[in-house]
Amino acid sequence: MIEELVGLPHGVFGLRVGGRLTVEDYEKVIGPMVQRAREADGRLRCLIEIQADFEGLTPAAVLDDIGLGLGTVGAYDGVAVVTDRTALRTATEWAAFVVPFPMKVFPAGGREEAAQWLAALPAEARVEVALDAETGVVTAEVDQALRIEDFERLAATVDPWTREHGELRGLVLHIRRIPGWTSLGSVIRHVQFVVGHHAKIRRIALVSDTPVASTVAAAADRLVHPRVRPFAGTDLAAAQAWAAGD
């Protein structure tokens, strides 16, 4: 049994789930609701309230679930799961490490808190990227936990330049606080970006007042191809000038 929740904040759609889910549930409720949400905002913020009598999915519904998940996974801004069932809470907490979007579990009765958490999530990528075509320097503003989409956005800016010019003159990372990652998937994508791009970037400037910035920069300067240098958080212009140098 499944029913759509009403009275949620704008941009948040929700489901109350109980019993055993069937293919009909996906065809009549879940699929159309996801489609409406994507047509309205393009992004998905989903609240799933699981009742005590939930029994799982029929085999056919499992296939529908996988298909829906693969087709929409890149469109989620976040998912909140409301349940007191230990196994489901644990599964959600583990899943939060591998999905490419924020996922959080709330106790039964926490629908309002879950809905407000979803509504407050940033709508855009956590990294704002700007390329200065005159100097060949990319500046990335980082202020929240990193997602897979952030590295895709960074690569989409860097890759065309390196294909045309061979290498990027400089990358400036302006980090206001230690951001962390939203999932294991974003950690893996971070590693992939570093491995795939470090030989194509001449200089990296780390602009931050976080206590570990200098230590990280010194370690990276010894381990990777680009020269890496730390700058104070207020020295963005100086960092960009240094990154543009020969």
178 vs 76, higher pLDDT:
76
Residue partners of 164: CB distance under 8 A and separation at least 6: none
Provide the pLDDT for residue 113.
94
Indicate the pLDDT class of residue 65, thresholds 50, 70 and 90.
Answer: very low
Question: Which of 4-8, 20-24, 27-31, 114-118: highest mean pLDDT?
Answer: 114-118
Mean pLDDT of the chain: 78
Instruction: Kindly give the pairing relationship between strand 20-21 and strand 127-132.
Output: unpaired
- Lowest-confidence segment of 81-85, 143-147, 149-153, 206-210 by average pLDDT: 143-147
Please, is 205 exposed, middle or buried when counting C-beta atoms within 10 Å of its C-beta (0-12, 13-18, 19+)? buried
Provide the pLDDT for residue 24.
75
Q: Which CATH architecture has domain 2-120?
A: 2-Layer Sandwich (3.30)
Q: Identify whether the C-beta of residue 69 lies closer than 8 Å to the C-beta of residue 26.
A: no
Alpha helices in the chain (DSSP H): 23-25, 31-41, 59-72, 86-95, 111-120, 148-165, 184-197, 213-223, 236-244
Locus of tokens 């971070």: 190
What would the pLDDT profile of 153-164 be if each residue is shown by its tens digit? 888 899 999 999
Mean pLDDT over 17-46 rounds to 72
- The strand pairing partners of 207, in sequence order, are 174, 231
Q: Could you state, in order of their start, the residue ranges of all structural domains in the chain?
A: 2-120, 127-244
Mean pLDDT over 215-230 rounds to 76
Mean pLDDT over 118-134 rounds to 79
What would the pLDDT profile of 51-64 be if each residue is shown by its tens digit? 888 776 544 433 34
